[in-house]
Amino acid sequence: MTAVRRLATVLAAPLLAFVVAGVVTSLILLMAGDSVSRFWDALFRMPDARNFVNIINNSVVLYLSGLAAAICFRMKLFNIGVEGQYRVAVFAAAVFAGQAWLPGYLNTAVAVLVAMLVGALWAGIAGLLRATRGVSEVISTIMLNSIAGTLVAYLLRQVGERRGETMTTTPLPRDSWVGGIPLIPGEASKVYGFAVLAVLAGVAYWLILNRTRFGFELRATGASQPAALASGVDVKRMVVMAMLLSGAVAGLVGMPLLFGTDHAYASTFQSGIGFTGIAVALLGRNHPIGIALGAIVFSFLIEQSNVLDIVAQVSPDVVVVTQGVIVMSVVIAYEVVRRYRNTAEQRGVARSMGGPSGKQETEGVVA
């Protein structure tokens, strides 16, 4: 297959999904009696500098969340628990860093490790349950999400302090904050310094999955468990490892927010990132660049929808529908494209290799 054709089959599915999502969203707007043209004008207006920075920042967070989900998707494990994992992780990191036991950036670095460790352990519970007792990781991670929310709320009351209406952990010392990158000159809001962390995580994800033996075994387990087993992969151990790794990356999700803007964990800490990350991973086909594009698309939609009710008198919630339709259609479209590619390839091989092997099936068989 030529490079152009390969690129076309890669891009066909998401493009198709966007078109379908556009049509469905327009239909819903029509049915609700809203103005379709004003909606799209508002959604696709040029973001100004501040919106632009917001889109990037939100993409960074979603990207980490998408990576976490993608690690498990690569071996057909469904870690629905990124949500809970990042919450317990960021809480633990906030409590740790707030104590300021260590100076400056050392405090930051160790707090990030704490977050990864806690995220990994929280996900590891589901991994262990799956490996030892056969408990579906879908069920256990969903339940662990619920437990995580309650547990963090409880612990926050125990160790946190009251600030007005909300509970919050001890704020981080100033010298542990991670400063922003002034990407756009003259614009006050800055891009998270931890955007670098997301890039590094993406590179590591690609490297580990595509270039190491461990990554190969993980992908092989996802592609065919019996084949992986026969090739010598300890599948149960792999389940636990994948969950740990996924949880560790999930632990990073809250870091840009904690060290960049919030500087403490409060009951108002942004939620829902874990679920959106699943959608982003699906959209990006678990590919490190695909996930980045998916994260940008989702952040763009979220950011642009903020002003919908002012500019177009449309509820911003309709964008959630758009996102949902994108994900649903992209899953279907990927499958359609995959089948098309498979049959095309099979036919291609048969045509170019029209040799005797595979043709003379019945000869020489004695009845």
CB 250 within 8 A of CB 182: no
Q: Which of residues 185-224 bind other proteins (CB under 8 A)?
A: 210-217, 219-220, 223-224
Q: Which helix (H) or strand (E) holds 201?
A: helix 195-211
CB 86 within 8 A of CB 249: no
Q: How many residues bind other proteins (CB under 8 A)?
A: 41
When the beta carbons of 31 and 353 are compared against other proteins, the nearer one is: 353
CB of 207 to other proteins, least distance (A): 9
Q: Is 315 left (phi over 0), alpha (psi -120 to 50) or beta?
A: beta
CB of 7 to other proteins, least distance (A): 15
Which residue in 3, 4, 46, 353 binds other proteins (CB under 8 A)? Answer: 353
Which residue in 46, 133, 164, 361 binds other proteins (CB under 8 A)? Answer: 361
CB of 210 to other proteins, least distance (A): 8
Is residue 162 a contact point for other proteins (CB under 8 A)?
no
CB of 226 to other proteins, least distance (A): 5
CB 84 within 8 A of CB 295: no
Site track 220-259 with other proteins (rule: CB under 8 A), x = hit:
x--xx-xx-xxxxxx-------------------------
Q: Which of residues 41-60 bind other proteins (CB under 8 A)?
A: none
- Gap between the Cα atoms of 235 and 81, Å rounded: 21
What tokens were used for 14? 């998401």
Is residue 363 a contact point for other proteins (CB under 8 A)?
yes
Helix axes 195-211, 288-305, angle to 10 degrees: 150
CB of 293 to other proteins, least distance (A): 23
Distances from the Cα of 238 to the Cα of 75, 143, 219, 229, 289, angstroms: 9, 22, 10, 11, 25
CB of 129 to other proteins, least distance (A): 20
- Gap between the Cα atoms of 330 and 129, Å rounded: 31
DSSP symbol at 77: -
Q: Which residues bind other proteins (CB under 8 A)?
A: 210-217, 219-220, 223-224, 226-227, 229-234, 342, 345-346, 348-350, 352-353, 355-367
